Structure 1
């Protein structure tokens, strides 16, 4: 798997996670994405292909979750009150 595809997946996941309206979900998703990519950075071969496939599955899941979160917006968190 090329490094460009991995970086593209990483950026896409982070971009999608940043679209959560809820601060808690958004920060959790971003932390998990970063931690998972750090943990898998030395994986090679078939394990790397399965990790990338898992990443794309998670991207699809994240897209659905973000769409649902936009349908049912909640109140802003204390952390977001001053955010523009």
Structure 2
């Protein structure tokens, strides 16, 4: 039961991080964030110890706050789109 709860929370956090990283204006930041999120969750996929899972989730929540803050700052200081985005 506990693993199912952890699984749902982790999946929800993963989706929210991906959603928030899509809000970056800069293509480079957006792609970097997506790669880092996917790699981190893929690396920790095999964790079974609940204390380790909770520790990684706390770390991910801190990073989610950073992503939200940086995306907001990025909207304040817009730059031209790159050629690859047009």
Q: TM-score range by the shorter chain?
A: over 0.9
Counterpart position of 2:74: 69
Counterpart position of 1:21: 25
User: Which of these residues, 43, 47, 53, is aligned with residue 43 of structure 1?
Assistant: 47
Between the two proteins, the alignment pairs up a number of residues equal to 81
More helix per residue: 2
TM-score by length of 1: 0.92
Query: Tell me, which stretches of 5 or more residues in structure 2 are unaligned?
Result: none
Helix, strand or coil at the partner of 1:41:
helix
User: Which of these residues, 2, 8, 15, is aligned with residue 4 of structure 1?
Assistant: 8
Counterpart position of 1:54: 59
How many Å separate the matches in 1 of 2:10 and 2:85?
31
TM-score by length of 2: 0.90
* Divergent runs of 4+, >6 A: none
How many Å separate the matches in 2 of 1:31 and 1:42?
19
